Amino acid sequence: MPYTEDRSVWFEGQGLWSHVPAADWQDWVWQLKNRLTMVEQLERYMTLTPGEKAGCLFANQKLALAITPYFFNLIDRNDPDCPIRKQVIPHRDEMIISSGEMLDSLGEDEHSPVPGLVHRYPDRVLFLVTDRCAAYCRYCTRSRLVSNAQDYNFHSEYEQALRYIEAHPEIRDVLLSGGDPLLLSDKKLDHLVGRLRAIKHVEFIRLGSRIPVFLPQRITPELCEIFKKHGPIWLSIHLNHPKEATQELKEACERLSFAGVPLGNQSVLLKGVNDDPDVMKALVHRLLRMRVRPYYIYQMDLITGSAHFKVDVRKGIEIIRTLRGHTTGYAVPQYVIDAPGGGGKVPVNPDYVEKITDDEVVFHNFEGKIFRYPLKSSPLPVPAGTVMPAEIHM
Ligand SMILES: *Cc1c(COP(=O)(O)O)cnc(C)c1O
């Protein structure tokens, strides 16, 4: 059955927490304090499947369980296949380690000159500023260190990282991630971003954060002022499914946009969540309506215990094919595989080119029709009676 939704509706409201004063609900510290972190709390509101229950009991050895009340409301508690549920409720399948899976599948630790800094590409660095998030995605690519369930004891060395960036003039782009950088206090963020902005060769500063999606209340006017002050700051958010596009998130994106923060979205292709062209189309359309440009769709990284989320790459390519040409160009993200072992992000988009020779390129369009574009051109005879400008006659 194709995925359908009422496009005029944006989910909003306090749901299960309608008894809580609105001021508490809108307070991000309240949301963090009231996160669901234990199996007993989940079971107060829903019946877990045996697989989920076993997963919850295992979570403290793998990746912590935490869900904000705001995000928990988006779960359809009567549907064991709910795409929101699968992203944040642990499952026994996380314990199964399959061939090819690694703790650090992107080889980040090997490319880390300073604790917390990953320097893989020539002109940009990934700066991991914390190991904590507002809620934990069960397919986390950094589950080896995030939430510290595996006793990795991650500690970012801000001063060392800043000194490394200062000493490397080739670094023109710094990406703050983690964990979630928006869990830092306003004061820390202001200081950190201010320090980066003061480095002359750092032209481009961006953050990767799922906080707008898990905790839109964190996007306060004060935070937006910090972005404004140090701007331009770009922000990549992380939605996987159109149900995550709520009224609260839309308003948070609006606050960010009005503060001059360009927004992108990164999705992970996840089995049973968004491995469906109709779901992805609905998602990218919602994103544009929230002023968010779809940036990447990631093929699942080969992290331990992720096989149950893995989607065939051909399915991902098919999804891009159903978007390109069929809808707004701005709505079409790049589909990439982050090369296992640390080769960086590589696009794996549909191929439209049939053949290229010295004479022409032969390609097909979104409808499958073949077209040719000549590469060689030679002048045609001038039609009789044509009056040529004098300089061409000579
Ligand atoms: C994803 C990533 C980046 C940023 O890549 P872009 O394609 O520029 O968005 C930078 N460094 C590392 C290590 C990354 O994984």
Tokens 């400008």 correspond to what residue?
A: 389
Burial of 338 per CB tally in 10 Å (0-12, 13-18, 19+): buried
Protein residues with CB under 6 Å of any ligand 1 atom: 118, 120-121, 124, 126, 175, 345
Q: How far apart are CA 121 and CA 326, in angstroms?
A: 33
187 membership: H or E segment, kind and range:
helix 186-197
Q: How far apart are CA 383 and CA 117, in angstroms?
A: 66
Q: Which atom of ligand 1 is nearest to the CA of 111?
A: 13
Give the CA angle between residues 221, 223, 227 to the nearest 5°: 110
333 neighbors 295 (Cβ within 8 angstroms) = yes
From residue 113, give the alpha-carbon distance in Å to each of 64, 125, 142, 169, 390. Answer: 27, 10, 18, 15, 66
Instruction: Let me know how long the chain is.
Output: 394
The dihedrals phi and psi of 78, each to the nearest 5 degrees, come to: -95, 0
pLDDT in tens, 146-174: 999 999 999 989 999 999 999 999 999 99
Range 147-151, long-range pairs (CB < 8 A, 24+ positions): 147/63, 147/64, 147/66, 148/64, 149/59, 149/60, 149/61, 149/62, 149/63, 149/64, 150/61, 150/62, 150/63, 150/103
Mutation probe of ligand 1 site: the residue of 105, 117, 119, 120 with most atoms within 8 A of C-beta: 120
Q: How far apart are CA 229 and CA 250, in angstroms?
A: 22
Beta strands in the chain (DSSP E): 117-121, 124-128, 173-177, 204-208, 233-237, 263-268, 292-298, 334-339, 344-347, 353-356, 360-364, 370-374
pTM of the model: 0.96
Which candidate in 56, 82, 133, 253 is catalytic? Answer: 133
Q: How far apart are CA 42 and CA 225, in angstroms?
A: 36
- Could you tell me the distance, in angstroms and rounded to a whole number, from the CA of residue 30 to the centre of ligand 1? 33
Q: Which residues of the chain are modeled with pLDDT < 50?
A: none
3-state secondary structure of 33: helix
Domains annotated on the chain, with CATH? 1-350 (3.20.20.70)
- Could you tell me the distance, in angstroms and rounded to a whole number, from the CA of residue 198 to the centre of ligand 1? 22
What is the rounded (10 degree) CA torsion for 70, 71, 77, 82?
A: 160
- Could you tell me the distance, in angstroms and rounded to a whole number, from the CA of residue 82 to the centre of ligand 1? 30
Which candidate in 85, 120, 206, 321 is catalytic? Answer: 120
Specify the residue with its C-alpha closest to ligand 1, atom 6.
Answer: 345
351 neighbors 321 (Cβ within 8 angstroms) = no
Active site residue 345: yes
Q: Which atom of ligand 1 is nearest to the CA of 106?
A: 15
Specify the residue with its C-alpha closest to ligand 1, atom 3.
Answer: 126
300 neighbors 268 (Cβ within 8 angstroms) = yes
- pLDDT recorded at residue 388: 77
